[in-house]
Structure 1
Amino acid sequence: LEVSHSDGAGRWVRIICNRDKGSILGVVTDITADVMEKKKIEYERDYDVLTNLLNRRAFEEKLRQLKERTRNLKIASMLVWDLDNLKYVNDTYGHSTGDAYLVAFANCLKKFDKDNVVSARRSGDEFVTFIYGYDRAEQIEELIEEIWSLVQKTYIVLHDQRRYRIRISIGRAWYPKDSIDFDTLFQYADFAMYIVKHSRKGTMEDFDQAVYQENRIILQGQEAFHNLLEQKMVDYMLQPIVWAKDGSIYGYEMLMRSKLEIFKSPMDILRIAQSQSKLYDIEVLTLFEAMGTFVSKVKEGACDKDSKVFINSIANQIMSKESIELFCNTYSEYLSNFVCEMTEKEEEDESMTNDKLKLIKSWGGLVALDDYGYGYNSESTLLRISPNIVKIDMSIVRGIDKDDKRRRLVANLVLYTRERDILLLAEGIETREELKTIVSLGVQLLQGYYIAKPSYEANPPTQEVKDELLYGIYSE
């Protein structure tokens, strides 16, 4: 029984009565401590301790109860929210700041806590919301817009008093349009969130069945991907990059190849890593394994110790302080060989990118802007990153001997880069005509199947190609 104390506070008591010969004898025991402890246990069972939102178990139980009252669902929507850059915040500013980042977003969701809105922290940086009981989808969209508007205005204050805004990526699926099964609905919303993280991070995407069918490897390859990470089941082929003036080797690009047949290309691995929020793990795996392969080739005598090693890096990922320290200790002799390839197709976190650029410069390494000319923001990316090397995308190199527009573009780029001491590299050269045109325009570095194919043995260009550059094309 709950009673009120004279001090206004509530108390829980247990009353045991015994009737004897017309009298009633009772014992009243204050059990407030026991009741509060039980409530605490029940709360911790159902709620996330940090954010005070429902946890995964309680959320799933709530959905189970809703399944029994499908008449009340009407039109509903499942949303999966992924809090962007949490790992970066943790690694850069500390876990207490990361916790504040999580709580700030959770507080936004709690402000819309209604009978027909159920929100939970599912795991780590992932949250889920189920909105139901509306007659029209537009009503749900209006509510989501209100939540999103609040999130976009929300920020945490860092130790140096700077504001760091909350940023989220959202996947959405609809009941009953996409599915009437709640587990499937969550899976679809989670997939839509993966698409956002992979293409337009920081926005919202609705589930698309056609896109889902095209990307089934994400669902089929989860266990294989886990094994790939745990057992480091990747190899690296080396493709030479040579000087146009004499065909001598400047460096090698390290090209990832999976040992598992399910992953046909590095893009397959990146897609599932994105869906599993494991891009950081791929970044660490790539840097350690690619550099390790290069070093082993140097020790075998297959590669010159002074040659550069080009390794693709994920623009919006940076290793933790512990991993950086281990990398530096393991490969201290080769840090200045490192060329970090960053592609302009990736959406960047500017502060994270700047931290990575500073780190590479502190090693004495170089930065290469990959796939230049492929994206829509080539010039702005070039100005922002200020790379040491610019790699011209193969889409510009292909057929350049027959296309005056491509030649003019490269000629202008040659002038721009030479004025700023930036090396220009043409990749994807497949014919002698392309090679001759590229060299005549003044590009300094060359890469492609015509020069040398990727190999596990780090095979150099043939003497014929080297002679062609030294005595033929370059001298012409």
Structure 2
Amino acid sequence: MGTGCEGCRRGEPFDLPFSMAFQPIVNLRDNTVFAHEALVRGVNGEGAGAVLERVDPLNRYAFDQQCRVKAIELAAALLTPEDEAKLSINFMPNAVYEPRACIRLTLATAERVGLPLDRIIFEFTENEQLDTRHVLRILETYREIGFKTAIDDFGAGHAGLGLLAKFQPDLVKLDMDLIRHIDVDPVKRTIVKHTLRMLDELGVTPLCEGVETAQELAVLEDLGVVLVQGYHLAKPSFEAMTRPQPYHRTGQAA
């Protein structure tokens, strides 16, 4: 396995224990769970903030590595053999020093628990200023290895269209602020409609997150959205994977 890059070795440990909750990403076309997103939680189910506030530039490499291991181990224990759902893991680009060196523990964990690499999605949020060239190296390396990739909170980050012009991931998650109240906001509908068309032409699968009402879901269905995520379908479940009730085209539970 080796010892990793020098940047990895310089980091400090992350000593706060934590766990994960999982929120399903639903395929509306066939009422199946496309993937479960792993979301960090305290060991007793506390919100992510209680854990993330302890992350700093010195320990974020160790934290990022522990998140990957925890998510993969828990998912492997919870997914049934016949379950084809994927696992979506958030990662911190600034915690990745050299992509191929920093991925070794992830690869070893996936192999140990028997989780195929093509069932793992790595998604990142542009919530801090990033070196676009560094992000591209990470995404390209992950694709070469066999992982799926996703840009989270598209429309709210720093790079946005500039990054998309250089790299087309498997998935783009439209920011929840674009989805909130889309049923009563014609401007948001127009933005989302044309974003969906752009992603289709680029061969990128859109995913709309933050769906909180049946009305929002109905608009997204009318726009042709297939993958959705949000409290209206299912909230995150602590150390468990829930399956939301099937939904009709009207957005109402079956």
Q: Compute the TM-score of the two structures, normalised by the length of structure 1.
A: 0.47
1:255 is paired with a residue whose SS is strand
Aligned to 1:436: 218
Using CA pairs under 8 Å that are at least 6 residues apart, name the structure with larger relative contact order, 1 or 2: 2
Aligned to 2:108: 329
Deviation at 1:330, TM superposition (A): 2.9
List per-residue Cα deviations over 1:267-310 (Å, max 9, x = no partner). 45334322x51111111011111111111112xx2x85421111
Q: 1:461 aligns with which of 230, 244, 250?
A: 244
Deviation at 1:453, TM superposition (A): 1.4
**Percent of aligned positions that are identical:** 26
Code of the aligned partner of 2:40:
M
Code of the aligned partner of 1:316:
N
* Within-5 A mapping of 1:279-294: 279-294=60-75
**Unaligned 5+ runs, structure 1:** 1-87, 96-123, 126-224
Aligned to 1:17: none
Q: 1:441 to 1:282 in 2, by over 3 A?
A: same
Report if the CA contact (8 A) 1:344-1:381 is conserved.
Answer: no
* Residue correspondences, number: 243
Aligned to 1:246: 30
* Within-5 A mapping of 1:70-85: none
Q: 1:360 to 1:377 in 2, by over 3 A?
A: closer
Code of the aligned partner of 2:201:
E
Q: 1:342 to 1:304 in 2, by over 3 A?
A: farther
Report if the CA contact (8 A) 1:342-1:369 is conserved.
Answer: yes
List per-residue Cα deviations over 1:102-151 (Å, max 9, x = no partner). xxxxxxxxxxxxxxxxxxxxxx69xxxxxxxxxxxxxxxxxxxxxxxxxx
Aligned to 1:450: 232
Deviation at 1:381, TM superposition (A): 3.0
Choose 1 or 2 for highest CA Rg: 1
Deviation at 1:473, TM superposition (A): 4.9
Code of the aligned partner of 1:350:
T
List per-residue Cα deviations over 1:288-342 (Å, max 9, x = no partner). 11111111112xx2x8542111111102222765653343233134211111111
2:123 aligned with 1:341, yes or no?
yes
List per-residue Cα deviations over 1:56-101 (Å, max 9, x = no partner). xxxxxxxxxxxxxxxxxxxxxxxxxxxxxxxx97359xx9xxxxxx
Report if the CA contact (8 A) 1:316-1:347 is conserved.
Answer: no
Return the alpha-carbon distance in structure 2 between the equivalents of residues 255 and 351 of structure 1: 27
1:339 is paired with a residue whose SS is strand
Deviation at 1:460, TM superposition (A): 0.2
* Within-5 A mapping of 1:418-429: 418-429=200-211
Return the alpha-carbon distance in structure 2 between the equivalents of residues 325 and 281 of structure 1: 13
Q: 1:310 aligns with which of 88, 91, 101?
A: 88
Deviation at 1:407, TM superposition (A): 0.1
2:149 is paired with a residue whose SS is strand
1:227 is paired with a residue whose SS is coil
Q: 1:268 to 1:351 in 2, by over 3 A?
A: farther
1:370 is paired with a residue whose SS is strand
Report if the CA contact (8 A) 1:313-1:342 is conserved.
Answer: yes
Return the alpha-carbon distance in structure 2 between the equivalents of residues 377 and 356 of structure 1: 15
Return the alpha-carbon distance in structure 1 between the equivalents of residues 152 and 168 of structure 2: 12
Name segments (4+ residues, structure 1) moved above 6 Å. none
Q: 1:396 aligns with which of 178, 187, 206?
A: 178
Greater helix proportion: 1
Report if the CA contact (8 A) 1:370-1:392 is conserved.
Answer: yes
List per-residue Cα deviations over 1:11-66 (Å, max 9, x = no partner). xxxxxxxxxxxxxxxxxxxxxxxxxxxxxxxxxxxxxxxxxxxxxxxxxxxxxxxx
Report if the CA contact (8 A) 1:242-1:446 is conserved.
Answer: yes
Aligned to 1:259: 43
Report if the CA contact (8 A) 1:315-1:347 is conserved.
Answer: no
Return the alpha-carbon distance in structure 2 between the equivalents of residues 313 and 468 of structure 1: 34
Aligned to 2:139: 357
1:425 is paired with a residue whose SS is strand
Greater strand proportion: 1
Report if the CA contact (8 A) 1:270-1:279 is conserved.
Answer: no
1:434 is paired with a residue whose SS is helix
